Structure 1
Amino acid sequence: MPKYASLLIIVVLLISADLHSQEWNYRNNRIAVSFDGNSAADDAYKWPTGDPDDWGAAVASGAIVAKLGLQDKIVHFSYNNFIDAPAGPDAENELKISCDGLVERWNFDPKVFFDVTLELKPAIQNLAKEIGKSTKEDPLFFIHAGLSEFLYLAVEEVISQGNIEALNHVYLLSHSGFNENEKRREYHHTWNDIQELCGNRINYRKIKDQNNKTAPHDLWHSGKDFSVWYWMRDHKDPNIQWMYKRMQAHSGGDADISDCGMFYYLLVGDDNGTPEKFKAFIGEGIPNSSGL
């Protein structure tokens, strides 16, 4: 290959990579997220219990959004998204407790929050509506914090409404191969199934796994070591203290809020968050807290 042709190819690749990076430069666009975290036992599945890390991660994610004053950018927030799993009674529905609390404490719009086990159809319709309105000028950023079946159903609805081209302007952020690929029922679908369904239209980025429980001071999962998070427990803002209590709710006794690392990456630009960085980010607290 001629020397100048090789140089041209390198330049083109560098420009393409830069443009791709720019496409993911979040600019106060709409955000949707779907967590799992079901607390009711699903006896039809090999692992009956849900994923309790989201009980704290949803709150930490909300704290990141609220600290930046971006609550109005959250247009869809679904949780307990294990399709076909049973609903838990409210008093024991740990993720509902977390989500109801962050709505009340940090002034989120309750109309965009959905417990999928109780509101499956409205949740699908809401996400499909937000996907369907996406354009180049008004993209949707989707945080993939739960299994893929719920998103598959929403994408299916978008396509049935004739809005498939809107999926070109959806940006999905992931950090978990488990969330992408695990199926709680044989007839459920994976992330690859979603891309096949929509002709690979959804823009996709996977950051590194936000768990590193072997190193408490690294990322967002410190194993059984809560000491790196004591700054929350001792914070003067009562809602930050509450965030620590929601982390403590983890049924396995783990200090794990790993899914919030995707919000930290999207909104702060750092996929290597730590307890110390989070402490500095939260600072004196969240100004628009309700003071509960």
Structure 2
Amino acid sequence: MMTSRLVTVPDMLKTLCFWIVFASCKFIATAQHPVYQNHRIAISADGNNQADEHSEARWPRADPDDWGGTPAALAILAKANLQNQVVHYSYNNFIAAPPHTDERNFMAEAANYAIEHLGFDESVFFDVSAAPAKAIDHLAEVLQQSTASDPLFFIHMGPSEFFYQAVAKVVSAGKQDALAHVYVISHSGYNDNHLRRTAHHTMAEAIALSDGRINYQKIKDQNACKEPEKLWCSGTDFTPFYWMRDHSDPALRWVYSRLQFHPGGKGADISDAGMVYYLLTGDEYGNLSKLKDYMGDGIMSK
């Protein structure tokens, strides 16, 4: 027998407030963020390879596109000499998923290479699957440091629950006014809305929790896998990426090597990196040809 849930007036008001803020979010998505000028950057990605077998998890693992997207994003930032402006980079950010124990941790490998070879600060990288509380606390700290003169640009590469929990800590600490100087860039309905657990939260709910303070912009979806000349994905066709494979810079050859792990051979996809390219160039129609020109002689070339 199905039982009904009594909806109270406070419940109704909460729902009404949520949808009012959500409507505001959709309006914000059409507005322009301030031009990026060497401001602080925070990024959070999924990429979990250790299976999450919980009954509420729609897929056990993350989409392996992150295994290439994170190396490419870090390479783009390193080429612009912005290593010191990356104040937070979390990965494997499926909240409540298990740590990597008997599966290869592709995301940690990418982070460690960037730290060792590309000049990134080890202290700002966090494996959420290994230490979720530490990662959430760190993002909350950099969020609440945001001011009009020192805003934070947050690149949203994974589900929203991790970001939501960091925002909740900022609000609980009474620092919610700082969130007015946080600028979220997203390109994916999946990242905004996918729930690993029924109790998790969407990006719209994170913005509602901030009382609409967080600035949100959703750019064009950076996937166009059936049209490899457009955007950042070519599915199983690695031809658009061969310039990386053949480049004189070992770091770019390394980025190419990170595309080879997709179990279905569909690793020619760095779509999330398109958000970083957009942040730095203002171009939401980036592609592999434009990236080749951007990289020029290599990441660390002078």
Asked if TM exceeds 0.5, the reply is: yes
Report percent identity of matched pairs. Answer: 51
> SS state of the match for residue 58, structure 1?
helix
TM-score when scaled to structure 1?
0.90
Relative to structure 1, the CA distance from residue 193 to residue 240 in structure 2 (aligned partners, 3 Å threshold; closer, same or farther) is same
The separation in 2 between residues aligned to 1:252 and 1:64, in whole angstroms, is: 26
Q: Is the 8 A contact 1:107 1:288 kept in 2?
A: no
Q: What are the superposed Cα offsets for residues 74-130 of structure 1, whole Å, 9 maximum, x if unpaired?
A: 000000000011111387111111111111110100000000011111111111111
> SS state of the match for residue 258, structure 2?
helix
Relative to structure 1, the CA distance from residue 225 to residue 51 in structure 2 (aligned partners, 3 Å threshold; closer, same or farther) is same
Q: What are the superposed Cα offsets for residues 43-74 of structure 1, whole Å, 9 maximum, x if unpaired?
A: 11231121211111001000110001010000
The separation in 2 between residues aligned to 1:261 and 1:233, in whole angstroms, is: 19
Q: Which residue number in structure 2 is paired with residue 8 of structure 1?
A: none
2:39 to 29, 45, 50: 29
Q: Is the 8 A contact 1:90 1:96 kept in 2?
A: no
Q: Does 1:142 align with 2:157?
A: no
Q: Is the 8 A contact 1:56 1:250 kept in 2?
A: no
Relative to structure 1, the CA distance from residue 240 to residue 228 in structure 2 (aligned partners, 3 Å threshold; closer, same or farther) is same
Q: Which residue number in structure 2 is paired with residue 9 of structure 1?
A: none
Shift of 1:196: 1.5
Q: Does 1:39 align with 2:49?
A: yes
1:159 to 165, 171, 174: 171
Q: Which residue number in structure 2 is paired with residue 106 of structure 1?
A: 118
The separation in 2 between residues aligned to 1:125 and 1:46, in whole angstroms, is: 27
Q: Which residue number in structure 2 is paired with residue 259 of structure 1?
A: 272
Q: What are the superposed Cα offsets for residues 167-209 of structure 1, whole Å, 9 maximum, x if unpaired?
A: 0000000000010001010011101111111111100110000
TM-score when scaled to structure 2?
0.87
Q: Which residue number in structure 2 is paired with residue 273 of structure 1?
A: 286
**Amino acid aligned to 2:48:** N
The separation in 2 between residues aligned to 1:89 and 1:99, in whole angstroms, is: 17
Alignment of 1:44-193 (within 5 A): 44=54, 45-89=57-101, 92-193=104-205
**Amino acid aligned to 1:154:** A
> SS state of the match for residue 42, structure 2?
strand
The separation in 2 between residues aligned to 1:266 and 1:219, in whole angstroms, is: 15
Runs of at least 5 residues in structure 1 that lack an aligned partner in the other structure: 1-16
**Amino acid aligned to 2:121:** D
Q: What are the superposed Cα offsets for residues 247-276 of structure 1, whole Å, 9 maximum, x if unpaired?
A: 122233221110000000001111111111
The separation in 2 between residues aligned to 1:252 and 1:258, in whole angstroms, is: 17
The separation in 1 between residues aligned to 2:189 and 2:287, in whole angstroms, is: 21
Q: Does 1:286 align with 2:299?
A: yes
Runs of at least 5 residues in structure 2 that lack an aligned partner in the other structure: 1-27
**Amino acid aligned to 2:69:** A
**Amino acid aligned to 1:240:** L
The separation in 1 between residues aligned to 2:279 and 2:244, in whole angstroms, is: 22
The separation in 2 between residues aligned to 1:28 and 1:221, in whole angstroms, is: 27
Please provide the CA RMSD for this pair. Answer: 1.5
The separation in 2 between residues aligned to 1:193 and 1:199, in whole angstroms, is: 10
**Amino acid aligned to 1:242:** W
Greater share of helix residues, 1 or 2? Answer: 1
**Amino acid aligned to 2:275:** M
Q: Is the 8 A contact 2:243 2:292 kept in 1?
A: yes
Q: Is the 8 A contact 1:131 1:140 kept in 2?
A: yes
The separation in 1 between residues aligned to 2:292 and 2:149, in whole angstroms, is: 34
